[in-house]
Chains A and B, each alone.
Chain A
Amino acid sequence: MRVPFSWLRSYVPELESPEVLEERLAGLGFETDRMERIFQIPGGVVFARVLEAHPISSTSLKRLVLDAGKVVEVVSGAGNARAGIGVALALPGTEVRGLAIGERTIQGVVSHGMALSPKELGVGEYGGGLLEFPPDTLPPGTPLAEAWPEEEVLDIEVTPNRPDALGILGLAFDLHALGYSLILPEVRLETEKVPLPFGLRVEDPRGALHFTLSYAFGLQVGPSPLWLQRILFACGMRPISNVVDVTNYVMLERAQPMHAFDLRFVGEGILVRRAKPGEKLVTLDGVERELHLEDLVIAGYRGEESFPIGLAGVMGGAESEVREDTRAIALEVAQFDPVAIRKTARRHALRTEASYRFERGVDPLGQVPAAQRALSLLQTLAGARVAETILEEGTPQAQRPIPFRPAYANQLLGTQYPEEVQLAILRRLGCRVEGEGPYRVTPPSRRLDLELEEDLVEEIARIQGYESIPLDLPAFFPAPDNRGVERPYQRERRLRELLSGLGFQEVYTYSFMDPEEASLFRLPPSPWRLKNPLSPEKAALRTHLFPGLLRLLKENLALDRPERALLFEVGRVFGKEGAWVREETHLAGLLFGEGLGLPHGEKLSGYPLLKGLLEAFLNRLGLDLRVEAHPYPFLHPGVSGKVRVAGEEKGFLGQVHPEILKALELPPVYIFELHLPLPEKPFRFQDPSRYPLALRDLAVVVPEATPYGEVEALLRQAAGPYLESLRLFDLYQGPPLRVGEKSLAFHLRFRHPERTLKDEEVEEAMARLLTALRSRGWDIRG
């Protein structure tokens, strides 16, 4: 919200400076996003009165004769240029917004300067017409800057809990609580006992909680006085006319939106109801809107007939808007159901100053005072006559008292604020404090956010200043059920550290995936799509990590051409089982390129390297790795393995399918992806045997297609209890072996834990191995 410093100071006269205000507001919970100095009116801009306006034939231009202390003629194309209004005139030689104003001849008429729009003067956004004042605003020829000083505006953030602070008075009340004195605007209103020319029916009291309708007549609609326009411009609004400006001004002052309907379009009165099927309304912005059955509308009625003239709490209708010839109005000041307004504003994608305030809530007791404030201004500024009666429907709900214990405040804050200090703060905030221990505190009706004792505690702390709360550390033993809860987190972190120690670089990729790309990665489509993705490529949730790693590799290759890469990511992926989300943590690794070796020599790389690294990683966790051939659609059919960790199926390891590599224009890439957590094996120390090793070598001849894993498994199973380790040291094909055979040579180590093994025992084990091999139809090499 934009806060013009001078305006706020008119209610809080002791305010020192915009800088002090910024600090005070920050302490109160209102952060300033931006502070700006506006309204630098150039010295050569003077106030002038339009005496005559003559159309220039065959153009849309007008020749204006102005009284600017002297008579001046200018040419203007503005639609609202007309005799009788006051304008801002830039005399020749003035520079406005970087544009030098001179004497120019336009369509054969000499223009001795330029009448300015708000945009040209640099006070507002509007450039579609002249800035317009009442003719007697200033003596003609007076430099405008004398009546239009500079302004400091603080653009502050008002959190949703403080709708009262969406009016400048709300801030003034808070500053008052800090100790500043407060001057409230005086409302002097002369009313007349006249019959009201309209009725009021509220058909939906749940939508319109409190609805008031006042009658003002005898209006002279015209431009607002300069001071009022200046405030509206400073607040970022466009002055329209005195009547509309007053409603906006009071809204900015009291956070209470209101709307004036031209009485000519109201019929016999106003009916507040939900919209009917097929109903339409052209709103003030000129858009025809189809109304939804849940939309709350303000309708005019004639007998049983009714017709919408406004979208309640959001925007008025175009037809019933106040115009220059409006003489009488029905002024609506209401409190609507915040949820209803929010829904309507969302449905019509129409967020207005009014809807913004109504959906946050307005002071339930604020309608009549706001109406009176507006009517008194209309009396002064537009010569309005005002009816004494204000029609009212609904019973405003004021807050209930809140029990409050000063001791609890200190207990929650860790402070020792004296009781009297606390009660004084509440009173200065406008609360009524009654009773004793616990006190009964009734907040002012504008403070919708104060409902609980804790809310009052925050008020105490806010006004005392959070800096007055001391620093402390709590000491306690956690309840037993909290013990050890961090183990999963710590374990996962350890995995990352182990992998990075083994040479893997950690990367993060987005949790999204491109639904169109599932087939590229030979994956089923993601079961989870976003309702509102940022972009089509980020429209689904990832089901695997490896596509992200491949994409990342591709981008790096394009930019930096690395010769190799060893990457990992730990992250969440999202599957589906029935209606359930299955969120899992995956660990994926990727190897590409040259592998291990000398830069100028041979390299070890590819599948065996990645498998070796994965195995080292698992071994470091006390786990073993088994990989068995298994076809995965996204892996090379010949280099595709299922990973078992400590016997549990945990994922896959292999070479990325050539079709994927082709589509991404990538060289061969090797990947693994496991789901976490990995199994945890209970650890027990085993005293290593000190008895001598018995070493044997064994070369097994098997058909070429026999997986190594089968041979190893058989040997381990048949070797008996004393086999300490087994290690492949040669893999051979060729003569003297027959074609289609291969030989696997192993070093075997036997050892007994408690004594020296006898030769016969080792030979027996070797014999068992031979029998087992032969029973499978395999043999050994002599």
Chain B
Amino acid sequence: MRELEQEALAAIREARDLEALKTLKARYLGKKGLLTQEMKALANLPLEERKAKGQALNALKEAIERALEEREKALVEEELRRALERERQDVSLPGVEVFTGGLHPITLMERELVEIFRSLGYQAVEGPEVESEFFNFDALNIPEHHPARDMWDTFWLEGEEHSLPGPLGEEVRGRLLLRTHTSPMQVRYMVAHTPPFRIVVPGRVFRFEQTDATHEAVFHQLEGLVVGEGITMAHLKGAIYELAQALYGPESRVRFQPVYFPFVEPGAQFAIWWPEGRKWLELGGAGMVHPKVFQAVDAYRQTLGLPPAYQGITGFAFGLGVERLAMLRYGIPDIRYFFGGRLKFLEQFRGIL
């Protein structure tokens, strides 16, 4: 019996897997197992002997059962450990390379500006890039042969007479050009809508000029227009002040100086104090909508059968360059980068949400 015990415990200890353990269990404890046989043989022994041997056999059975249980647990654990080990991965290996996208810095800057004005109740609208001479110049009080036209170097389209859709889709005939500013949208919008309103017009504009680090022939502007009864120049200053505060924080200030744009009177150029750079940034032009622009709008409305809507009304307008702000905002040294298309440049703006 001592031999049996040693043999059984040793075998159990050395069982390599659960299958082997099952065999051992059958060998000792199964219906025909060694221990079971011994138990059955007890019946033939005298009582005293039977009692003593019975106790010993029970102890042995318990020992074997315990050993089996322990070994089984160890084997299960071992199996799991192995399985997990097999599934080990190098977590430092690269993952699937999904594409990372991003927005163009001008989109980002424009969005920031539009959001500032949206928070003040402005709505963003857009106009066409190919424009007629009438909306780009004449209706804005910039007649042909006026020296003021020299302020905008213009790309003209070939041909003397073409058509394009007016503010309500009607045919407008005339010489065509690439808009030199977003201001023609002032006229288009006013023809199609009635005051009061606040709008901003972001968009691409064109100037016939050679490019260098600070000049581009194609760039972006944001135009603002607020029209209604009792709109004042103080409101204009307030709008630009809010822009300054939103862009550069509470230490920012605004400065207005007289300047000439044919479609505003009084006219102004404005600068914003940039606390970080400790300097004034000349950002754009502004002013009170010129009475001749209102007259041109109402005259045009009349040709469309619309009643005049801009008599006794005042308004202010402003325009600013988006590139300039983006260059300052992101530390971009050269305006040509924006249309340069180099992905190593564009991809850097992904962090801006």
List chain A positions with a Cβ less than 8 A from chain B: 26-29, 31, 159-162, 338-339, 342-343, 359-360, 411-415, 452, 454-455, 457-458, 461-462, 466-467, 469-474, 476-479, 481-482, 485-486, 488-490, 493, 496-497, 499-511, 528-534, 538, 541, 551-552, 555-556, 559-560, 562, 564-567, 571-572, 574, 578-581, 583, 594, 596-600
The 6 tightest CB contacts between A and B, nearest first, are: A414-B234, A503-B99, A414-B232, A29-B258, A458-B266, A159-B260
Interface residues of B in 8-30 (CB under 8 A from A): none
Once bound together, how far apart are the Cα atoms of A454 and B255, in whole Å? 21
Binds A, one of B47-55, B68-76, B80-88, B337-345: B337-345
CA distance A581 to B242 in the complex (A): 38
A579 in contact with B162 (CB, 8 Å): yes
Do A481 and B193 touch across chains, with their CB atoms under 8 A apart?
Answer: yes
Contacts of B239 in A (CB 8 A): 473
- Residue on B with the closest CB to A470? B234
Chain B's closest residue to A603 (CB) is B97
Contact A458:B162 (CB < 8 A) given known A160-B146, A466-B257, A467-B256: no
Whether, in the assembled complex, B279 has its beta carbon less than 8 Å from a beta carbon of chain A, the answer is no
Whole-angstrom distance between the alpha carbons of A474 and B195 in the complex?
Answer: 13
The reply to whether B228 and A476 form a contact with Cβ atoms under 8 Å apart is yes
Residues of A within 8 A of B262 (CB): 161
A479 CA to B155 CA, complexed, in Å:
36
Taking a contact as CB atoms under 8 Å apart, the answer to whether B257 and A469 are in contact is: no
Contact across chains for A509 and B148 when beta carbons are under 8 A apart: no
Secondary structure at the B interface, as helix, strand, loop or mixed, is: mixed
C-alpha gap A445/B210 in the complex (Å): 39
- Stretch touching chain A among B36-44, B57-65, B197-205: B197-205
Query: Quick check: B199 and A485 within 8 Å, CB to CB?
Result: yes
B238 located at the interface, meaning its Cβ lies under 8 Å from any Cβ of chain A in the complex: yes
Bound Cα distance A567, B102 (Å): 9
| CB-based contact A342/B338 at 8 Å | no
Would you list 8 pairs from A and B whose C-beta atoms are within 8 A, ordered by A residue?
A: A31-B259, A458-B267, A478-B198, A505-B101, A508-B341, A511-B178, A534-B217, A597-B96
The answer to whether B342 touches A474, judged by C-beta atoms less than 8 angstroms apart, is no
- B234 pairs with A415, CB closer than 8 A: yes
> Of A467, A474, A531, A596, which one neighbours B226 at CB under 8 angstroms?
A474
Task: Check: B351 CB closer than 8 A to any chain A CB.
Answer: no
CB distance from A524 to the nearest CB of B (A): 17
Residues on A with C-beta less than 8 A from B118 are 486
Q: In the complex the two chains form, what is the Cα distance from A27 to B291 in whole Å?
A: 24
Beyond A160-B151, A528-B158, list 9 extra A-B contacts (CB 8 Å): A27-B257, A159-B259, A160-B146, A339-B145, A466-B268, A472-B232, A496-B107, A500-B102, A581-B164
- Cβ–Cβ < 8 Å partners of A476 in chain B: 196, 228
Given known contacts A342-B145, A469-B234, A508-B106, A490 and B290 CB-to-CB distance under 8 angstroms: no
Q: Are A29 and B147 in contact (CB under 8 A)?
A: no
Interfacial chain A residues near B146, Cβ < 8 Å: 160
Distance in angstroms from A304 CB to nearest chain B CB is: 33
Q: Select one of B97, B165, B343 contacting A596, CB under 8 A.
A: B97
Residue of A with least CB distance to B309: A479
Query: Of all chain B residues, which has the CB nearest A499?
Result: B101
The answer, yes or no, to whether B218 is at the interface (CB within 8 Å) is: yes
Which B317-351 residues sit within 8 Å CB-CB of chain A?
338-339, 341-344, 346-347
**Taking the nearest CB of chain A, how far is it from the CB of B204, in angstroms?**
7
A488: which B residues are within 8 A, CB to CB? 125-126
Closest B residue to A576 by CB, please name it: B162
CB of B284 within 8 Å of the partner chain: no
Measured CA separation A360–B150 after assembly (Å) = 11
B163: which A residues are within 8 A, CB to CB?
578-581
Tell whether A479 pairs with B197 under 8 Å between CB atoms, given A458-B266, A503-B100, A583-B130.
yes
B134 at the interface (CB under 8 A from A): no
Contacts of A597 in B (CB 8 A): 96-97
Chain B minimum-CB-distance residue to A504 = B101
Find the A residue at minimum CB distance from B347. A505
B241 within 8 A of A: yes
State whether the Cβ of B104 lies closer than 8 Å to any Cβ in chain A: yes
Q: Does B230 contact A (CB under 8 A)?
A: yes
Bitwise, B107-135 to A at CB < 8 A (1) or not (0) is 10001001000101101111011100000
Partner of B101, one of A411, A471, A506, A555: A506
Query: CB distance B125 to A486 under 8 Å?
Result: yes
Q: Which of A160, A471, A500 contacts B238 (CB 8 A)?
A: A471
* A501 to B102 Cα, complex, angstroms: 7
How many residues does chain B have at the interface if contact means C-beta atoms less than 8 Å apart? Answer: 97
Q: How far is the CB of B178 from chain A (nearest CB, A)?
A: 7
- B266 and A508 form a contact (CB under 8 A): no
**Max chain B CB contacts within 10 Å: which of A160, A461, A501, A560?**
A160
Query: Are A534 and B193 in contact, CB atoms less than 8 angstroms apart?
Result: no
Tell me whether A342 and B128 are in contact in the complex, defined as CB-CB below 8 angstroms, given that A26-B257, A471-B238 are known contacts: no
Residue in chain B with minimal CB distance to A531: B156
Distance in Å from the Cβ of A407 to the closest Cβ of chain B?
Answer: 13
Residues on B with C-beta less than 8 A from A27 are 257-258
Choose one: A411, A477, A489; the contact of B230 (CB below 8 Å).
Answer: A411
Chain A residues positioned under 8 Å from B107 (CB to CB): 493, 496, 506
A360 touches B147 (CB 8 A): yes
Question: A506, B346: Cβ atoms under 8 Å?
Answer: yes
Q: Is the CB of A482 within 8 A of B96?
A: no
Which residues on the B side are within 8 Å of A497 (C-beta)? 103
Which of B114, B157, B163 has the most chain A CB within a 10 Å cutoff?
Answer: B157
A452 proximity list for chain B (CB < 8 A): 265, 291
Contact with A along B202-224 (1 / 0, CB 8 A): 10101010110000011000000
Contact B120 A481 (CB under 8 A): no
* Assembled-state Cα–Cα distance A106/B174 (Å): 68
- Interface status of B35 (Cβ within 8 A of chain A): no
Residues of B within 8 A of A496 (CB): 103, 107
Known A481-B194, A482-B197, A599-B94; contact A161-B260, beta-carbon cutoff 8 A: yes
Closest B residue to A161 using CB positions: B260
Q: Chain B CB within 10 Å — which of A343, A489, A533 has the most? A: A489
Q: Given A482-B193, A556-B343, A598-B94, is A530 in contact with B101 using a C-beta cutoff of 8 Å? A: no
How far apart are the CA atoms of A551 and B339 in the complex, in Å?
A: 12
B162 touches A472 (CB 8 A): no
Contact A472 B198 (CB under 8 A): no
In Å, the complex CA distance between A414 and B161 comes to: 44
Q: Which of A479, A506, A541 contacts B194 (CB 8 A)?
A: A479
B118 to chain A, nearest CB (A): 8
Output the least CB separation between B195 and chain A (Å): 6
User: A471 contacts B234, CB within 8 Å?
Assistant: yes
Identify which of A159, A462, A499, A503 gathers the most chain B CB atoms within 10 Å of its CB.
Answer: A159
B235 and A160: CB pair below 8 A?
no
Q: What is the chain B residue whose CB lies nearest that of A507?
A: B341
Interface digits, B163-181 against A, CB 8 Å rule (1 contact, 0 not)?
Answer: 1110000010100101000
**A469 x B102 contact (CB < 8 A):** no
- The residue in chain B whose Cβ has the minimal distance to the Cβ of A534 is B217
Q: How far is the CB of A555 from chain B (nearest CB, A)?
A: 6
What residues on A are CB-neighbors of B342 within 8 Å? 555-556, 559-560
The answer to whether B125 and A485 touch across the interface, beta carbons within 8 angstroms, is: yes
A560–B341 alpha-carbon span in the complex (Å): 12
Closest-CB distance, B221 to chain A (whole angstroms): 14
Contact assessment for A412 and B232 in the assembled complex, using a CB-CB cutoff below 8 Å: yes
**In the complex, which residue of chain A has the Cβ closest to the Cβ of B258?**
A29
Query: CB distance B266 to A461 under 8 Å?
Result: yes
Nearest B residue to A410, CB-CB:
B232
